[in-house]
Amino acid sequence: MTGRRPEPPEARAVQARDRRVLARLISMVENGDPRARPIQKALYPHTGHARIVGITGPLGVGKSSLVNALLGVLRARGVRVGIIGVDPTSPFSGGSVLGDRIRIDRAGGDEGVFFRSMASRGHTGGIAATTREVARLLDAFGMDIVLVETVGSGQVDVEIRRIASTSVVVLVPHLGDGVQSLKAGLFEIADVFTINKADLPGADGAARYLSEMTALGAGPDGWTPPVVQCSTVEGRGIEDLWKAVEAHEAFLDSGPGRARGEEARARAEIVDRVTGRIGLRLDGLLEENRELRELLGQVLDRSLDPGTASDRIYAALRHRL
Amino acid sequence: MPREKKEAPIRVLIAKPGLDGHDRGAKVVARALRDSGMEVIYVGLRQTPEAIVDSAIEEDVDLVGLSILSGAHMVLFPRILKLLKERRAADIPVFAGGIIPDEDARRLRRAGVKAIFGPGARLDEIVTTARSIARRHA
Ligand SMILES: Nc1nc2c(ncn2[C@@H]2O[C@H](COP(=O)(O)OP(=O)(O)OP(=O)(O)O)[C@@H](O)[C@H]2O)c(=O)[nH]1
Ligand SMILES: [Mg+2]
């Protein structure tokens, strides 16, 4: 039965743009607090309006500065902007210094902006899952655009595709050799390339190189990522960067891209959530269940290889899935 | 993979309001708080009281630490405390570091600043105090 319950008051407060309630709810989501669930559930039908744009790239290339510059462009047009800045957690202390916010200068009390810093600390289901939920809350809060800044080394940058409809990859000229040795991965991530710090020498060369690379083959969807040069210190190229983002969004709307992307993301999210829980359950069974423990023991004393052990476990569990 | 159910880390905002000086002291404190396992939202120099309060609210911090060198503390701190109150965020505790004369420190404490550290304060003392005054989520 899907009996209609009254909306939790927090859900109504978020829609009424109560900033403290939103901020607390984000903390609950970050901390895996189960009390957030009914609120998220009530808010979900009110999401889907915001466009989520990823800004990713190596350390220090100027991602936050670009976010700040884009914020200026968007606020001047009256667009409401949510921002999520993700920074790595120190593996040693579990603490972190979250510094993306330092680059943001905005009018005090501007209600059309909500910036949240997030540490990549051990989120259940991974940082991408939490980021997606937080972006959704900003969407329900009434933001038109959610910018997600992530550092592009490791998992997060690849996972940005699972959250954002447009991903901007930020590079700088003096990555010179870097640009040429770019992991193929970046080309799969990028819907738009930015060469930031174009006030420094080498920007034209880097842009040309990237353009040649992207021209080699449009992606499977038929989109060729444009390459935009920017300088946040000179305030140059920012409008062009946003135009490129809008062009990609328009491209998605003009063909099957939007629907395909949304379906792929929804599928991935469901698969992640369910496999996450199955994984936890299985891990528990390896502890509790005698037969599974025996198989584990055989792997440990090398009388059985992990592949065969897994095949057996899968075969035993399959009919229950 | 099962993840350890860990306690949520304390979130603290570190800012240096006012127009003068450098933020070396604030950075050192930020790092010490991080090393004790906190999540430090570092916003650095030249923050207006309005921006500091925006940040404290959006980041849902448990604590705000303000470093100050100029003589403007008697204007800036009361302003920040007042804004927090106006925006229904007076439950977020504020502590201060910097060169603040004793008489001013007394007045600031009375106005609601939870702790004040002079330039000679030890880092472990700051960390311990910060931890003890931090608001914890229910
Ligand atoms: N020359 C030049 N420097 C820039 C430009 N944009 C940013 N910077 C500088 O680059 C440094 C890093 O800028 P951020 O915006 O913090 O870079 P980021 O990529 O967000 O950094 P992380 O979040 O630490 O990875 C700062 O010192 C900026 O002043 C630019 O267009 N030109
Ligand atoms: Mg940054």
pLDDT at A145: 98
| C-alpha span between B49 and A172 (Å, rounded) | 34
Q: Please state which CATH number belongs to domain A47-254.
A: 3.40.50.300
Q: Counting ligands in written order, which one lies closest to the CA of residue A198? A: 1
* Contact A150 CB / ligand 1 (< 6 Å): no
Q: Report the DSSP pairing between strands A145-151 and B63-68.
A: unpaired
List, in order of start, the domains of chain B with CATH numbers. Answer: 11-137 (3.40.50.280)
**Are residues A115 and B55, on separate chains, in Cβ contact within 8 Å?**
yes
Q: Return the residue whose CA atom lies nearest to atom 13 of ligand 1.
A: A62
Q: Is the pLDDT of residue A308 over 60?
A: yes
Convert the pLDDT of each residue in A144-200 to its tens digit.
999 999 986 544 466 788 899 999 999 999 765 555 556 666 777 889 999 999 999
Predicted TM-score (pTM) of the model is 0.92
Q: Which of A316, A320, A299 is nearest to A308 (CA)?
A: A299
pLDDT at B88: 92
| C-alpha span between B104 and B125 (Å, rounded) | 21
The answer to whether residue B136 neighbours chain A at the CB level (below 8 Å) is no
| C-alpha span between B26 and B40 (Å, rounded) | 11
| C-alpha span between A278 and A270 (Å, rounded) | 12
Q: Is the pLDDT of residue B7 over 80?
A: no
Please report which confidence band the pLDDT of residue B75 belongs to, taking 50, 70 and 90 as the band edges.
confident
User: Once rounded to an integer, what is the mean pLDDT over residues A9-22?
Assistant: 96
A19 min Cα distance to partner chain B (Å): 7
| C-alpha span between A321 and A118 (Å, rounded) | 35
Between A75 and A109, the more confident residue is A75
| C-alpha span between A244 and A240 (Å, rounded) | 6
Q: Return the residue whose CA atom lies nearest to atom 4 of ligand 1.
A: A197
Other CB atoms within a 10 A radius of the CB of residue B24 amount to 10
| C-alpha span between A166 and A280 (Å, rounded) | 32
Name residue A171's beta-bridge partners. Answer: A195
pLDDT at B80: 95
Please report which confidence band the pLDDT of residue B8 belongs to, taking 50, 70 and 90 as the band edges.
confident
Convert the pLDDT of each residue in A229-259 to its tens digit.
999 999 999 999 999 999 999 999 999 999 9
Q: Which of A147, A155, A154, A211 is nearest to A179 (CA)?
A: A211
Convert the pLDDT of each residue in A311-321 to its tens digit.
999 998 887 66
| C-alpha span between A137 and A129 (Å, rounded) | 13
Average pLDDT over chain A, rounded to an integer: 89
Interface test mutation site (partner A, options B59, B76, B79, max chain A beta carbons within 10 A):
B59
Instruction: Report yes or no: A165 and A52 within 8 Å, Cβ to Cβ.
Output: yes
Convert the pLDDT of each residue in A294-306 to its tens digit.
999 999 999 999 9
| C-alpha span between A15 and A58 (Å, rounded) | 35
Total residues belonging to chain A: 321
Convert the pLDDT of each residue in A206-237 to its tens digit.
899 888 888 876 667 889 999 999 999 999 99
pLDDT at A157: 62
| C-alpha triplet A126, A132, A136: angle, nearest 5° | 150
pLDDT at A156: 44
The ipTM estimated for the assembled molecules is 0.92
DSSP A28-43: HHHTT-TTHHHHHHHH
Lowest mean pLDDT among A63-67, A206-210, B105-109: A206-210
pLDDT at A6: 77
Distant-in-sequence, close-in-space partners of A7: CB < 8 Å, separation ≥ 6? A42
Instruction: Tokens for A234, please give them.
Output: 């000179």
Q: Return the residue whose CA atom lies nearest to atom 3 of ligand 1.
A: A197
Contact residues on chain B for A279, CB-CB shorter than 8 A = 1
H helix and E strand count, chain B: 5, 5
H/E stretch holding A71 reads: helix A63-76
pLDDT at A7: 86
Contact residues on chain A for B89, CB-CB shorter than 8 A = 20
